[in-house]
Amino acid sequence: MTAAAFDAPLRRRSRLGRKVRIAAGVFACVVFLFPVFWMVLSSFKEQRDIFTVPPTLFFTPTLETYISYMQRADISRRLINTVIVAAGSGLLSIVAGAMAGYALARIKLRGAGTIGVIILLSRGVPPIALAVPMFLVARSLGVTDMHITLILAYCTFLIPYVMWLMRGFFLALPKELEESAMIDGCSRFGAFFKIIVPISMPGLLSTMIFSMILAWEELLFALVLTNRYASTIPVAIAGIAGDTVNGANWGALTAVGTITVIPVVVFALLVQKWLIQGLADGATKG
Amino acid sequence: MGTVAIRSVRKTYGQLEVIHGVSIDIADGEFVALVGPSGCGKSTLLRMIAGLEEITGGEIAIGGRVVNDVVPKDRDIAMVFQNYALYPHMNVRDNMGFALRQRRLPRAEIDARVADAARILGLEQLLDRKPRALSGGQRQRVAMGRAIVRQPNVFLFDEPLSNLDAKLRVQMRSELKELHQRLGVTTVYVTHDQIEAMTLADRVVVMNGGIVEQMGPPLDLYDRPKSLFVAAFIGSPPMNFLEGIVDRDETLVLDDGSRLSLPMPVRGKARVTVGIRPEHLALAAIGWPAVVSVIEPTGSETQITARMGDHVIRVLIRGRTEVRPGETIHLEARAEDVHVFDTGSGRRLTAEALEGADR
């Protein structure tokens, strides 16, 4: 690289800046990770040890709260519900959102920009303003407390999100790839599925996982649209935290919280791995 | 049959017309280069032949069939893009065979055709590699291979060599010419490099601002440019231009007052531009005086840069010279090598303009 010669003095000058940035990064990590650390630690404590002053750092870990709560609040069924809803809305939004994003990125359509902006603006509506109308619609259709209702509700904010992320992704791909495919015998759809989708896999998968994480953690719509059969983990956590009869059970909260966070962490790590991979590497001159 | 007929083709984007009625007839097996500065419409025209841009007006026929409303895949063409557009998730073999698989050809035939193209282009060792593991020149070859295996009626090239370094570009240029002579497939080749156009094409189409300035065999364009634009665009080092007023038929009065006698009469035009190619100027005992500023010997020839009044003149002579910077030299040119243009319209005024027109 010819740029190396120019980089050297720059790099030397920013060495101090680099240290400052690292320190700031470490500080931010500590601030953000400490509650998680506290939660995981507390979930293995006995109830009486959670609020001791000074906090006990060394103790005999126990799975008691996990075991008891898994049975009591029907956590396993809610976990399954959450998986169904997160996977369902993640898949549906990636299929619809990616195709919409592709259309916005490539198809010359009068007013395409306006359509895109309007769809994006719909994300600006506060969810709470939509939750009640959605509930009324769901009730009159007789579909409250069903997985599909929650999945469709989540798609209202996931599809615009996927659409805009994927639009940017597709815009970065050379359009000659599809043109070449179309000359080689594909229709526009064929070029999309045979060329664009395979090379966009890293972007598609990471976007889908982001969507699934958003759906996984969603509380408001789940609270309004479900009550027993299809209700999800965040609703259960809210129930524990807001238990006015017995008071908040902190042991249970931390245990369920930990269970909820694990898949998110795993997914986030997966996304990071994919994002690092090259995207359309080697398609063009390079 | 791989004929291409372009008839009064126009292209507009909204209110803006970028191609203003272009007509070109391309014979079967002919190699035609579209050349011009960026924005002249050459790539747009090529993309219209390919079906990647809609045709606003006029029509394009390939092999006698009007293709205005035919999708790209049904036009029986193959195109090589400037950035090659190789499919990054497929290896070389699959890249080259993609179009054939799309047409559901038998596996054995696909393999045979890919192997054949790979042999022609020297890609046999690379068939299992992904595009990212190839050098620029190799990618360029794969892109050509992808076009060859199709055995199309027409090849379309959109500046295929401009991403290569200078040495590789020259090498690929002669490979391309050899390939065309061997396959004999009608080829439309877009480039902004006039040397590429001149060396490769049977016929060169010079475009400027959405119109065809001139088309014809490369040397016709070189010898008898119909306009100032073509005269300036074709040839390297470029043609010398002297601008002034014609006085008494055979005398050109430059703006700085110096008078040059022309080797032929120029009929009643007030303001003209005289063009002479550097190699058509010769040192003489008497003639137009000029003061030498730079001497650049390359061994086989010598380029002299000299000042003639306010004008800078380049002279290219065979062999070597004793002339030194600061000396005054005298230059002459044969009448047939002097091109006279109307400065206002840019059109050629000399008699050959009429003969050389519209070939």
Tell me the C-alpha distance between A203 and B247, whole Å.
Answer: 72
Q: Which residues of B touch A174 (CB under 8 A)?
A: 83, 85
Mean pLDDT of chain B: 90
Nearest-5° Cα angle at B43, B191 to B65: 115
- What local confidence, expressed as pLDDT, does residue B1 receive? 66
Instruction: Please report, for residues A100, A243, B67, B310, the alpha-carbon distance to residue A192 in angstroms, rounded to integers and kept in the order given.
Output: 12, 51, 24, 59
Q: Does domain A74-284 have CATH number 3.30.70.980?
A: no
The verdict on whether omega for the bond into residue A54 sits within 30 degrees of 0, i.e. cis, is yes
User: B86–A198: do the CB atoms touch at under 8 Å?
Assistant: no
How far lies A233's CA from each of A47, A64, A222, A259, B288, in Å? 21, 19, 9, 9, 95
Residue at token pair 């993640």: A90
pTM for the full predicted model: 0.81
Per-residue model confidence (pLDDT) at position B14: 87
SS3 helix, strand, coil % of chain B, rounded to 5?
Answer: 30, 35, 35
Higher per-residue pLDDT: B246 or B70: B70
Contact at CB, B51 and A195, closer than 8 angstroms: no
Classify residue B49 as left (phi > 0), alpha (psi -120 to 50) or beta.
Answer: alpha
For residues A259-272, average pLDDT: 83
Residues of A with CB under 8 A from a CB of B: 174, 176-177, 179-187, 190, 195, 198-199, 278, 280-286
Residue A37 and residue A248 in contact, taking contact as beta carbons nearer than 8 Å? no
Q: Which two tokens stand for residue B332?
A: 């002459």
The confidence band for B349, taking pLDDT boundaries of 50, 70 and 90, is confident
pLDDT of A264: 86
* ipTM score for this prediction: 0.84
Give dist(CA B167, CA B270) in Å, integer: 46
**Spatial separation of the C-alpha atoms in residues B340 and B266, rounded to whole Å:** 8
Q: At what angle do helices B92-102 and B107-121 cross, to 10 degrees?
A: 130
Distance between alpha carbon A67 and the CA centroid of its chain, in Å?
28
Pairs of CB atoms within 8 A across A/B = 88
pLDDT tens column, A116-131: 888 888 888 888 888 9
Collect all residues of chain A within an 8 Å Cβ-Cβ radius of residue B132: 278, 281-282, 286
Using a CB-CB cut-off of 8 Å, the residues of chain B touching A282 are 86, 88, 130-134, 139
CB < 8 Å to B133, chain A: 282
Strands (E), A28-177: none
The residue ranges of every structural domain in chain A are: 3-43, 74-284
Q: How long, in residues, is chain A? A: 286
Q: Contact, B51 vs B60, CB < 8 A?
A: no
Q: What contacts A46, CB < 8 A, 6 or more positions away? A: A59, A62, A64, A251
The CA distance from B299 to the nearest CA of chain A, in Å, is: 33
Facing residue for B163 by CB, picked from A186, A199, A285: A285
Does the distance separating the beta carbons of B85 and A179 come in below 8 Å? Answer: yes
Supply the mean pLDDT for chain A. 84
Tokens 């009068």 correspond to: A110
Contact A283 B86 (CB under 8 A): yes
| B130:A282 CB<8 A | yes
Residue whose token pair is 């889908």:
A208
Which chain B residues touch A186 with a CB distance below 8 Å?
73, 102
- 3-state class percentages of chain A: helix first, strand second, coil last, to nearest 5: 75, 0, 25
Q: Place A13 in a pLDDT band, splitting at 50, 70 and 90.
A: low
Each residue's pLDDT tens digit, A19-61 = 999 999 999 999 999 988 888 888 888 777 777 777 777 777 7
How many Å separate Cα A158 from the centre of its chain? 9
H/E run at residue B11: strand B4-13
Q: Please spell the DSSP secondary structure of B284-296, one letter per residue.
A: EEEEEEEEEEEEE
Contact A181 B71 (CB under 8 A): no
Nearest CA of chain A to the CA of B236: how many Å?
A: 28
The burial of A68, by beta-carbon neighbours within 10 Å (0-12 exposed, 13-18 middle, 19 or more buried), is given as: middle
Contact (CB, 8 A) for B330 and B323: no
Contact A183 B132 (CB under 8 A): no
**A249 Cβ partners below 8 Å, 6+ apart?**
A47, A69, A240, A243
Q: How far apart are CA A248 and CA A241, in angstroms?
A: 5
**DSSP character string of A179-227:** HHHHHTT--HHHHIIIIIHHHTHHHHHHHHHHHHHHHHH--HHHHHH-S
Residue in B322, B184, B309, B192 with CA at minimum distance from that of residue B257: B309
Chain A residues touching residue B52 (CB < 8 angstroms): 179, 182-183
Integer Cα distance of B293 and B299 in angstroms: 19
Q: Do A180 and B81 touch (CB under 8 A)?
A: yes
- Taking an 8 Å cut-off on Cβ atoms, the answer to whether B77 and A285 are in contact is no
Check pLDDT > 80 for residue A77.
Answer: yes
By Cβ distance, the residue of A181, A183, A283 closest to B88 is A283
Nearest by CB to B88, which of A179, A185, A282?
A: A282
